[in-house]
Amino acid sequence: MGRLISRSTILLLGVALAVVAVFPILWAVLNSLKNLLDIVTPTPRFIFTPTLDNYRQVISSPEVLIALENSSVIVGTAVILGTVLGVPAAYVIARFHVPAKRDIQFFLLSLRFLPPVAVAIPLIAIWVDLGLYDTRFSMIVTYLLTTLSTITWLSIPVFQRMPREIEEAATLDGYGPYATFWRIALPTCGNTLLGGIIFSFVLVWNELMMGLALTSSRSATLPVVASAFTSLGQEVPWGVINASTVLLALPPIIFVGVLIRLLNSMVKGK
């Protein structure tokens, strides 16, 4: 009887936490389908006449389409380069003798300690002096600092937890260090490594401070353009803001789905 009550309590707690986590997303979706009068009413309205005008206003804006292209190119390139460089680096740090290994790990972690404003100010001066301010190249290099450090830091313990017996068996089968990494370590730890890659993608996709500081118009990312919707007029267009929030959340979901399918195909050898 006590065990049944305990399970029921855990189940109810899990449902409550799920509701708390999902409700803000659901509320944003509902508000994106409302007129402004339905949103600002003192009594929340759950029954209303839905409209797609907010989405039409967001999608019809040429700035949004340009920003979507900028975000896709900048964030996609930064994550790919961060993965290509960070995952092998993490494997080397985790499995081989590297001088000052702890200092390297602390340096990678310290990059996440710095407040964005402390990094943005010197980067503005650097890119302006080089004539690369408000360019995709400068944004890719800036975001690469985040993706490379995040992916490397999160991938190191993944490789450290992998049993060494697996690699020793691969060595006995004639595999060299590179073959062991590509054919053994990477497929074995792939599912766990995926979490670090997704986390780094979400970090840079939603990054606003750097985008505001390092771009003005040509290379503005989607969060920068979405934040500008708050200044469309005297009244805050809450419906448009919620619609842009929903659209901003869709690419990471699509990216996660594509990445999971790709990883499953690699692991299964298809």
Q: Report the alpha-carbon distance of residue 183 to residue 269 in Å, rounded.
A: 11
Helix 238-268, helix 186-205: angle, nearest 10: 170
Residues 261 and 152 both lie in one domain? yes
Domains: count for the chain: 2
CATH code at position 128? 1.10.3720.10
Q: Which residue has the tokens 């590509």?
A: 182
Does the pTM exceed 0.85?
no
State how far Cα 186 lies from the chain centre. Answer: 21
How many Cα atoms sit within 13 Å of 107 on the Cβ side?
A: 7
- The predicted pLDDT at position 28 comes to 84
Residues 128 and 194 both lie in one domain? yes
- The predicted pLDDT at position 41 comes to 80
Report how far apart, in Å, the C-alpha atoms of 197 and of each of 59, 68, 208 are. 28, 20, 19
Residues 14 and 103 both lie in one domain? no
Residues 172 and 245 both lie in one domain? yes
SS3 label, residue 22: helix
Report how far apart, in Å, the C-alpha atoms of 33 and of each of 63, 82, 96, 137, 241 are. 22, 37, 55, 37, 11
- The predicted pLDDT at position 2 comes to 53
Q: Report the alpha-carbon distance of residue 109 to residue 107 in Å, rounded.
A: 5
- The predicted pLDDT at position 78 comes to 94
Q: Report the alpha-carbon distance of residue 30 to residue 204 in Å, rounded.
A: 26
Residues 57 and 24 both lie in one domain? no
Low-confidence ranges of the chain (pLDDT < 70): 1-5, 230-236, 262-270
Residues 194 and 242 both lie in one domain? yes
- The predicted pLDDT at position 35 comes to 86
* Domain assignment of residue 48, yes or no: no
* Segments forming the whole domain that contains residue 197: 53-268
Residues 128 and 239 both lie in one domain? yes
- Please, are residues 160 and 101 in contact by the beta-carbon 8 Å criterion? no
Residues 75 and 184 both lie in one domain? yes
* Domain assignment of residue 148, yes or no: yes
Interval 127-161: pLDDT, tens: 999 999 999 999 999 999 889 999 998 898 888 88
Handedness of CA 191, 192, 193, 194 (dihedral sign): positive
* Domain assignment of residue 134, yes or no: yes
Q: What DSSP line would sit under 101-137, residue for residue?
A: HHHHHHHHHHHHHS-HHHHHHHHHHHHHHTT-TTSHH
